[in-house]
Amino acid sequence: MDIGIPKEIRPFEFRVGLSPAGVEMLIQNGHQVYVEHEAGIGAGFDDQEYESAGARISYSSDEVFGRADLLLKVARPTMRELEWLRPGSAVAGLLHLASSRRDKVDVLLEKKITSIAYEQIELADHSLPVLRPFSEVGGSMTATIAARFLQANRGGKGILLGGVPGVPPAEVVILGSGVVGVTATKAFLGLGAHVTVISNDLMGLQRLHERHPGVVTMLSTARNIEKATSYADVVVGAVLVSSQRSPVLITRKMVQKMKPRSVIIDVSIDEGGCVETSRPTTHELPTYVEEGVIHYCVPNMPSVVARTATHAFVNAAMPYILELANKGVDDAIKADPSLEMGINTHKGKLVHLTLLAAGNNGLE
């Protein structure tokens, strides 16, 4: 199979669809890999590393897209990239179609592209193996981001997360007890913050309490969220409903009742955000102030730690990539129910169960 690794063109996307180690594994399995010139430079992989692994370096985006039976990306394709895709080919990446524009989905359908959303590959226990490493990276980053924007020179309240003797630590409220929520909890505790976790998953809260007895746990109700956010110095939105837009759990009225110059980090912004006042930002301008509260809403948080994120992602995704390459897309989908869960469009049809049931009405 011919496999393409393009250079990501979205602003501040430094990750790459496959590392040189991943390329070497594909070459050893008899496949041809085309890597666009400097595709891995943001993650610290140069062209020579890819060539040493057996890849062919292409100096044209058109060639990489045009040759690829399977295109491996990180960020969802732009409209220009969708136009480059060869009809009948396959593309894998963090597609987030539940919050994508309808016209982009239409192009995938018209060109009969098989689209594989890494974030929707799901095991029998409902865990998301390929999304997990990105969630772990994002969750770990929340504590250092919060510490930075709580500083007075960044517009924050001038609070040290861990406090000092005689001065209490910051109050951190985390919505969600999934991978992001648990990882964020660990990171904030490591810096000495006082943490409250709110979730509708009672079992998840019980596990969290057993692991970190000092953490306050609360069931997710509008009353509890309103109460907790009113005293929070930092709120982390870590809500994920697989294949769907994130539910809005924090309303504008709740934000209005938060303490001035506190910080919201909406990690759920990839899927539309769980805060009513959230809107996507970039790594160049990561924050804005709404209702007196600092909002950090960068969709591709892990991209600025691109080398770590790429290595972690490839470790998780490689079994599925090899399956697609070795068996072919159609046979791989039939053979692996977990991989099938990640298929959004196939042969001109919208096939993911959640999007199909919604008639794609949730797409913006």
**pLDDT per position as a tens digit, 34-61:** 999 999 999 999 999 999 999 999 999 9
243 and 332, same structural domain?
A: no
195 lies in a domain? yes
The number of folded domains in the chain is 2
160 and 110, same structural domain?
A: no
Determine the structural domain holding residue 252 and report its residue range: 131-299
285 and 178, same structural domain?
A: yes
Domain end among 256, 280, 299: 299
Average pLDDT of the chain, as a whole number: 93
33 lies in a domain? yes
284 and 136, same structural domain?
A: yes
For the chain, give the percent of residues with pLDDT over 70: 96
For the annotated catalytic residues, the residue numbers are 96, 270
Give pLDDT tens digits for 235-277.
Answer: 999 998 765 778 999 999 999 999 999 999 999 998 889 999 9
The two three-digit tokens of residue 279, written as one number: 């809107």
Q: Span 139-152, mean pLDDT? A: 97
Q: How many helices (H) and strands (E) does the chain have?
A: 14, 15
What pLDDT is attached to residue 363? 38
How many whole angstroms separate alpha carbon 246 and alpha carbon 364? 13
pTM over 0.95: no
Q: Span 87-94, mean pLDDT? A: 95
How many whole angstroms separate alpha carbon 215 and alpha carbon 233? 16
* Amino acid, res. 341: M
What pLDDT is attached to residue 362? 40
Check: CB of residue 131 under 8 Å from CB of residue 125.
Answer: no
How many whole angstroms separate alpha carbon 265 and alpha carbon 269? 9
Q: Span 86-106, mean pLDDT? A: 86
249 and 159, same structural domain?
A: yes
The two three-digit tokens of residue 245, written as one number: 């837009």
158 and 15, same structural domain?
A: no
Burial 107-119, CB ≥16 within 10 A → b, else e:
bbbebebbbbbbb
- Domain containing 250 — which CATH number? 3.40.50.720
How many whole angstroms separate alpha carbon 267 and alpha carbon 296? 9
Give pLDDT tens digits for 285-295.
Answer: 999 999 999 99
288 and 160, same structural domain?
A: yes
190 lies in a domain? yes
The two three-digit tokens of residue 241, written as one number: 């409903």
222 lies in a domain? yes
Give pLDDT tens digits for 189-206.
Answer: 999 999 999 999 999 999
Domain end among 282, 299, 316: 299
- Burial of residue 21 (number of CB atoms within 10 Å: 0-12, 13-18, 19+): middle
362 lies in a domain? no
Give pLDDT tens digits for 161-181.
Answer: 999 999 999 999 999 999 999
Give pLDDT tens digits for 284-338.
Answer: 999 999 999 999 999 989 999 999 999 999 999 999 999 999 999 999 999 999 9
Burial 41-52, CB ≥16 within 10 A → b, else e:
ebbebebebbee
Q: Span 129-137, mean pLDDT? A: 94
238 and 97, same structural domain?
A: no
Measuring CA to CA, which residue among 183, 204, 203 is closest to residue 195? Answer: 183
